[in-house]
């Protein structure tokens, strides 16, 4: 697929021929992928010959410049973190890295020239090319990685032995671990905020956290974490626990701990998660606290589930919600970013037939599959660099609580997952107002409580403009805030660390870009802005109460047994 550098002496005479051959080889590669057909892609490759000639001439010039730099021992332009070590400046390895980067740029430029009529097809092709280019980097292979070779020599081969052990452990777990399974223990190192499980059913446990102040706001806070991961992303270590910080601000905090679904629960549906999950949790919180108006917060898919549950309650006439906070949440799935390249009718139909109950067959969707998929959306940052460091160099990943949580996924019941996939990523009809959930029409206009919507600027899972559009579906007063960084680090950003920045604007125009133009940047964490907003909807302070109530006494200490299943 790539031009052969050995032909550089003939390029001036053979440029049109070589450009044509590269284009044809690229076409064969694209046609071999099941996402595309030869008939559909044929018009894409009608690229003007003069443009191909120019690309090839540019390639030839850059290759000549690289050759000159090698001959004169000048530093090579390896502006890529994969080749940052000084060993990559040695002529043999440096030429491989430089050639790889040049070929990668050439192919990306070539794909940009293709006449692809729709954005979805272009996103899919760019994704496939990004995956292929990331996979063939010389840093990924022992013979062409000078750092790994040096480590092998210096360690007498033990680095390779350790790398093989890491590989075997990951194969056993069915996932590429970015953090070792023995780095942390949930309940000892993470999820240590004191509290008690005060309710449980087959889908979730409800944790009521012990107060950290003498007085608390009268309206409690119910947190709905994503169902595809464990809840403790919001309760990591004490210094970066959003739960603990909320308690220290004087809020009475309840949190749902979703169960890791086993085969016996494989038949559960999206409606079950709404009615027997969130609506049941809200009813329990109201009973324990004695307050009808509960403040609710949902993170990612937890925010989607929460919004659907509140819309169901609104359709039933229950609008008594104090406030709604949505963290990096989709309601409008018009632009799903790179995740959307995976979802089409063929995939959804296959899932419905195999695990979704369409043919009477129920199964579970493995959380590891979702985790691996999300990692591959950023192949160089979350996939191949761990392959290199763990398997080629034999290094144990440094302990990192967020990455440990990222590897601690949960399974979902097939019908629930398939319903979500079809009505969000595929059909985007959650927002239609015509979809039925729990016996009523699902209409987000029924969510009329004040809303705080947070997005993350570099989020590759929920693009921030999509989070903005999602918030517009809610009909109460709305505040939108944009945090820096990505889907996880943009949310878990405690103020004491004084990291990153966030943007606010008192107005909420129709356009996300118009909002950005009017916004003001602030240094540090968005947490302080949220706590100030939440306090306005939390009521008066009163003496703090212990966990649970006479009707719902503590069943076991937090974090509970569901999170360790």
Q: Measured between alpha carbons, how far is 94 from 100 in angstroms, rounded to an integer?
A: 10
Catalytic residue check, 300: yes
Q: Per residue, what are the HEC states of 392-433? A: HCCCCCCCCHHHHHHCCECCEEHHHHHHHHHHHHHCCCHHHC
The first and second tokens of residue 266, run together, are 């494989």
Separation between Cα atoms, residue 444 and residue 29, nearest integer Å:
44
3-state DSSP assignment of residue 464: helix
Task: Give the separation between CA 178 and CA 387, rounded to whole angstroms.
Answer: 9
**CA terminus-to-terminus distance, the chain:** 47
Q: Residue 165 and residue 435: Cα distance in Å, rounded? A: 50
Pairwise CA distance, residues 208 & 255, whole Å = 7
Compute the distance between CA of residue 415 and CA of residue 224 in angstroms, rounded to an integer: 20
DSSP H helical segments within 142-225, as ranges? 146-154, 158-173
CB 44 within 8 A of CB 116: yes
Cβ neighbours for 245, distance < 8 A, ≥ 6 positions apart:
494, 527, 531
The phi, psi pair for 519, rounded to 5°, reads: -75, 160
CA 145, distance to chain mean position in Å, is 30
Q: Select which of 300, 308, 418, 437 is catalytic.
A: 300
The backbone torsions φ and ψ at residue 291, rounded to the nearest 5 degrees and listed phi first, read -115, 130
CA 270/CA 31 separation, integer angstroms: 37
Residue 95: strand, helix, or coil: helix
Distance CA 516, CA 547 (A): 42
Q: In terms of DSSP H, where are the helices of 77-181?
A: 91-113, 119-135, 146-154, 158-173
What is the C-alpha separation between 444 and 460, in angstroms, rounded?
Answer: 25
Query: Who contacts 345 (Cβ-Cβ below 8 Å, separation ≥6)?
Result: 426
Task: Return the structure tokens found at 36.
Answer: 């595309």
- Residue 36 in contact with residue 116, Cβ under 8 Å? no
- At residue 51, the 3 state secondary structure works out as helix
Angle at CA 560, nearest 5°, toward 555 and 565?
A: 130
- Would you state the structure tokens that stand for residue 474, as one six-digit string? 């809610």
Q: What are residue 184's phi and psi, to 5 degrees?
A: -140, 160
How crowded is the C-beta side of 305, counted as CA atoms within 13 Å? 32
Residues recognised as catalytic: 300
């Amino acid at each position: 697929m790539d031009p052969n550098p050995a032909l550089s002496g003939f390029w001036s005479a053979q440029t049109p021929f070589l450009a044509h051959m590269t284009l044809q080889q690229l076409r064969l590669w694209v046609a071999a992928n099941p996402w595309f057909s030869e008939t559909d892609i044929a018009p894409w490759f009608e690229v003007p010959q003069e443009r191909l000639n120019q690309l090839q001439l540019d390639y030839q010039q850059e290759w000549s410049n690289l050759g000159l730099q090698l001959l004169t021992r000048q530093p090579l332009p390896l502006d890529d973190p994969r080749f940052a070590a000084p060993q990559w400046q040695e002529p043999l390895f440096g030429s491989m890295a430089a050639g790889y980067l040049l070929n990668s740029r050439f192919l990306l430029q070539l794909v940009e020239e293709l006449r692809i009529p729709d954005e979805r097809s272009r996103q899919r092709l760019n994704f496939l090319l990004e995956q292929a280019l990331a996979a063939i980097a010389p840093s990924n292979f022992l013979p062409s990685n000078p750092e790994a070779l040096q480590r092998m020599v210096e360690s007498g081969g033990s680095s390779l032995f350790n790398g093989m052990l890491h590989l075997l452990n990951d194969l056993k777990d069915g996932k590429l671990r970015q953090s070792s399974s023995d780095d942390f223990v949930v309940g000892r190192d993470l999820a240590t905020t004191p509290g008690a499980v005060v309710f449980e059913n087959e889908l979730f446990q409800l944790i009521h956290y012990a107060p950290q102040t003498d007085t608390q706001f009268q309206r409690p806070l119910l947190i709905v974490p994503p169902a595809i991961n464990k809840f403790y992303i919001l309760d990591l270590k004490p210094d970066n626990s959003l739960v603990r910080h909320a308690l220290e601000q004087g809020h009475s905090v309840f949190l749902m701990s979703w169960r890791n679904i086993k085969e016996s629960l494989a038949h559960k549906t999206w409606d079950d998660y709404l009615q027997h999950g969130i609506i049941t949790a809200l009813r329990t919180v109201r009973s324990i606290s004695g307050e009808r108006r509960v403040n609710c917060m949902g993170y990612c898919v937890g925010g989607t589930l929460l919004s659907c549950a509140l819309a169901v309650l609104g359709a039933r006439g229950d609008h008594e919600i104090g406030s709604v906070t949505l963290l990096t949440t989709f309601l409008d799935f018009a632009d799903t970013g790179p995740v959307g390249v995976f979802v089409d009718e063929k995939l959804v139909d296959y899932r419905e037939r195999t695990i979704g109950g369409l043919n009477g067959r129920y199964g579970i969707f493995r959380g590891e599959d979702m985790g691996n998929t999300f990692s591959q959306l950023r192949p160089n940052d979350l996939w191949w660099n761990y392959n290199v460091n763990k398997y080629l160099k034999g290094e144990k990943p440094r302990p990192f609580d967020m990455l440990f949580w990222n590897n601690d996924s949960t399974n979902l019941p097939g019908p629930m997952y398939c319903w979500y996939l079809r009505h969000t990523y595929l059909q985007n009809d959650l927002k239609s107002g015509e979809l039925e959930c729990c016996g009523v029409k699902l209409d987000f206009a029924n969510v009329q409580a004040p809303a705080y919507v947070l997005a993350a600027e570099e989020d590759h899972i929920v693009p921030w403009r999509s989070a903005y559009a999602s918030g517009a579906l809610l009909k109460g007063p709305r505040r939108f805030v944009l945090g820096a960084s990505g889907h996880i680090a943009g949310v878990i950003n405690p103020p004491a660390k004084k990291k990153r920045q966030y943007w606010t604007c008192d107005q909420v125009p129709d356009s996300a870009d118009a909002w950005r133009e009017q916004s003001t940047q602030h240094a540090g964490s968005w947490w302080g802005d949220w706590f100030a907003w939440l306090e306005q909807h939390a009521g008066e302070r009163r003496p703090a109460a212990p966990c649970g109530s006479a009707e719902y006494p503590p069943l076991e200490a937090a974090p509970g047994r569901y999170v360790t299943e």
